[in-house]
Amino acid sequence: MQTLAEVEEGKSVRIVEIMGGYGLMSRLLRLGIIKGAVVSVVRNRGPVVLRFGDSIFAIGRGMAMKILVEEVVR
C-alpha cells in the first residue's frame, strides 16, 4: 500500500483507508471519495489532481498523504 501522494500520474487506485479527522473525512465525503472508491491521478505535482467519475478536482498534498490506496489492475 502507498499514500495517494506517492501515486504516479495516470494510475488508477482504490481508496483503502483514510487516516484523518472529521474535517478531512467531511471534505472527502462531500466529493464522493469514500473507502473503496476508485480514483485516477491526473497530476501529482503540488496539489494532487484527481479524476473521479466525470469530475476533476485537486486536494492538497497533506490530505493526499493521509489517504492509503492500492493500485487497480486493469
Structure pTM? 0.90
Query: What is the total count of domains within the chain?
Result: 1
Distance CA 1, CA 22 (A): 23
Structural domain boundaries enclosing 15: 2-71
pLDDT-derived band of residue 74, with 50, 70 and 90 as boundaries?
Answer: low
Q: What is the CATH number of the domain that holds 41?
A: 2.30.30.90
Place of cell 485516477: 40
pLDDT in tens, 6-55: 999 999 999 999 998 999 999 899 988 899 999 999 999 999 999 998 99
Burial code (b: 16+ CB inside 10 Å, e: under 16) for 48-62 equals bbbeeeeeeeebeee
